[in-house]
Amino acid sequence: MKNQFLKTTSFLLCALPLSQINDALGGVNQESKKPNVLIIMCDQLNYKALSCYGGKVNTPNIDRIANEGIKFTNAFCTTPYCSPSRASIVTGLYPHQHGIIQNLGGQQKEGITIQDQTTEKILSEIGYKTHHYGKWHLEGNSSYLPYYPDQYDYGYQYKKEMFDAGYTVLKDDGQDWMNFYGQYWPVDVSKVMLGKREHLDSLWKNQGFKDFALKMGRLRLKQEDWIDDKVANKTINRIRESGNNNQPFMLTCSFIWPHDPNFVPSPYYEMFDPESLNLPLQNLPDERFEKSWSRQMVKGYGNEGLKEFLRIYYASVKYLDDRVGKILKALEEQGILDETIILFTADHGDMMGNHGMVWKSNESFYEEIVHIPFIIRYPKTFKPGISTIQTSLVDIMPTILSLTGGKNDKEIAGIDLVPFLTGKKNVSKARQYSFCERIAPNPNRGRKVVASMKGAFMVRNEKYKLIVYPDGGLYLYNLIDDPHESQNLASVSKYVKIKTELSDALTKWLEETGWKGVEVKF
């Protein structure tokens, strides 16, 4: 009788989809397995481009994560630079704490090492298989970490693959090739930008990044040849492999777009007619950024060039959303969509033409580059909704560890968002201010803030933002009445109390987080 029961049970289980087998067994495996973790991260993504945040691009797949999860409306990067913000994601610390304050490869030489306590390191020690595909930008003397056994990176694998295959080898074919950090990409440049070529060539003759702006256009390669497609496929393949065992994974899918290079293949390039695009408000209330590359680009190629930039920017966002859709489908096919914590975010934003600037190559703290998309989907713990909690990239580590049972024995700056999202703690007890910073490089390009180093800082609450620069520049904006940040209220007597409140909050934060640089004066 017992054997007959086992035979019958085995037959019934074989007839069930993979996603229902655990339920049929009484949920034993379902309960014993820890949740998977999937971080989907974009580079330089302005949250206002996404339709779930009211943006121009129809992003149904990212919108799905938002609609089925929690969308944060007050999330901010720790600095509007790639490497520092990425280090904050994996360590739960602000840049002046973890010491990666500039982009790796330039004025910063020391990146993340095995000595750093990262989320992936902690989870790998409790049985997770950890993977990172795409842009890393935290490499130091050692490019790889043992908990990333199959890391796939732009600089170390993809660039070499494309060069070896002959795709990015400069050819004398009479067509345009964009020189992107020593790698050549075949691009069809629009007639508008071709008409500006001679003028801009002369105007930007000493600018090392000029090719990126001069040769925006249509990438003359198949859409599957770009790294973000390969990164999505590697993510999907890993999901498929992981879905067949009971070992949880933590997987970071790190896209490069919509960060430059500003080109995109067909059919995406043709999806947005530049003539139909409305130009953003380009108020120029502050001359502080007049010489920045962000503004020089827009001043050089004008409104027509800005529309071409936006066309490509929007197209690359659409490209990424399609890849996100494929990743979600893979999770569903493996029956692990609801068993996976999905976190969607970006390391920082892009000016997207606002204030007469594009990219992030300026010293501002405008919303366009510090405000980021931040979405968490995990239906086993979170009901769908919108959160207005002041949220930072440093919160990713403690939140993931809370959901997975990982333990960190070091003090961090981030907070666990879980109790606030589940109602166990009142949101009034959550962080009331968000902070962002720009720190001068270490004289030796190392990972230590010394007494001579200066910093610019931003503190923000729901309504006001205060910014202080090392040269004494002070800016206060009312984000409700002046969402475009065009009126500096720092010297208006009516706002003295608000300015004092925010400056006190910033001073307290600097003390609590161990700022060792030049004293900040208001």
Write down the pLDDT at residue 350: 98
Q: What is the mean pLDDT of residues 17-30?
A: 39
pLDDT tens digits, one per residue of 403-458: 999 999 999 999 999 999 999 999 999 999 999 999 999 999 899 999 999 999 99
For residue 18, is pLDDT > 60? no
Q: Encoding tokens for residue 390?
A: 């002041």
Give the largest Cα separation in the chain, rounded: 89
pLDDT band, residue 9 (cuts 50/70/90): very low
Token match 């007839």: residue?
15
CATH numbers and ranges of domains, the chain: 1-32 (no CATH), 35-151+234-432 (3.40.720.10), 450-522 (3.30.1120.10)
For residue 500, is pLDDT > 90? yes
Please state, in angstroms and rounded to a whole number, the distance separating the CA atoms of residues 455 and 434: 16
Write down the pLDDT at residue 298: 94
Nearest partner of 51 among 68, 40, 38, 67, judged by Cα: 67
Whether 359 contacts 293, CB under 8 Å: yes
Whether 352 contacts 358, CB under 8 Å: yes
Whether 259 contacts 81, CB under 8 Å: no
Nearest partner of 35 among 307, 226, 213, 248, judged by Cα: 248
Write down the pLDDT at residue 107: 84
What pTM was computed for the model? Answer: 0.92
Nearest partner of 66 among 422, 431, 342, 346, judged by Cα: 342
Helix orientation angle between 60-67 and 293-333, rounded to the nearest 10 degrees:
70
pLDDT tens digits, one per residue of 201-244: 999 988 888 999 999 999 999 999 999 999 999 999 999 998 66
Nearest partner of 430 among 418, 443, 445, 442, judged by Cα: 418
Please state, in angstroms and rounded to a whole number, the distance separating the CA atoms of residues 19 and 195: 57
Q: What is the mean pLDDT of residues 66-74?
A: 98
Exposure b/e, 59-76, CB count within 10 A at least 16 = b: bebbbbbbebbbbbebbb
Write down the pLDDT at residue 245: 78
pLDDT band, residue 285 (cuts 50/70/90): low
Write down the pLDDT at residue 35: 97
For residue 332, is pLDDT > 90? yes
Whether 78 contacts 392, CB under 8 Å: yes
Work out the percent of the chain whose per-residue pLDDT is above 70. 92
pLDDT band, residue 32 (cuts 50/70/90): low
Cα–Cα–Cα angle for 500, 502, 507, rounded to 5 degrees: 90
Write down the pLDDT at residue 155: 80
Please state, in angstroms and rounded to a whole number, the distance separating the CA atoms of residues 108 and 124: 27
Q: What is the mean pLDDT of residues 257-273?
A: 97
Nearest partner of 255 among 169, 356, 324, 325, judged by Cα: 324
| Residues in a beta bridge with 456 | 438
Cα–Cα–Cα angle for 415, 455, 451, rounded to 5 degrees: 100
* Helices and strands, counts by H and E, the chain: 17, 17
pLDDT tens digits, one per residue of 415-430: 999 999 999 999 999 9
Whole-number Cα distances in Å, 2 to 9, 11, 14, 243: 11, 14, 19, 31
Local structure of 308: helix, strand or coil:
helix
Write down the pLDDT at residue 209: 87
pLDDT band, residue 25 (cuts 50/70/90): very low
Reported residue count of the chain is 522
pLDDT band, residue 297 (cuts 50/70/90): very high
Q: Encoding tokens for residue 342?
A: 């999905």
Q: Encoding tokens for residue 335?
A: 């029956």
Q: Encoding tokens for residue 288?
A: 């502080």
Q: What is the mean pLDDT of residues 344-368?
A: 96
Write down the pLDDT at residue 164: 95
For residue 28, is pLDDT > 70? no
The H or E element containing residue 281 is none
pLDDT band, residue 171 (cuts 50/70/90): very high
pLDDT tens digits, one per residue of 122-162: 999 999 999 999 999 998 655 578 999 998 988 879 999 99
Q: Mean pLDDT of all residues in the chain?
A: 91
For residue 49, is pLDDT > 60? yes
Beta-carbon count within 10 A of 406 CB:
22
Write down the pLDDT at residue 246: 80
